[in-house]
Amino acid sequence: MNFSKKKITAAFTVELCPKCNALKKRKFLDGDTLFSTSAKCTSCGEITIIEKIFGETLDE
């Protein structure tokens, strides 16, 4: 018998702070668009920019 694992693809967003260059990876949210402004940087308080949106395949 052949059992195959389920594969799930999860979407992530990477935010970059233009002031201190801090990177933060978080789950993708509806409305995320590349190069748009996002949240405040947890290090310096500057507004971050969405640098990358990507998916990772995970085994369930």
What distance in Å separates the CA atoms of residue 58 and residue 44, rounded to the nearest whole number?
33
Tens place of pLDDT per residue across the chain (60 aa): 566 778 889 999 999 999 999 999 999 999 999 999 999 999 999 999 999 999 999 876
Domain range summary for the chain, segments of one domain joined by +: 8-59
Taking CA atoms, 55 is separated from 11, 15, 48, in Å, by: 4, 15, 20
**What local confidence, expressed as pLDDT, does residue 24 receive?**
96
What distance in Å separates the CA atoms of residue 29 and residue 21, rounded to the nearest whole number?
22
Tell me how far the alpha carbon of residue 33 is from its chain's centroid: 11
Query: Among 54, 26, 31, which Cα is nearest to 42's?
Result: 26
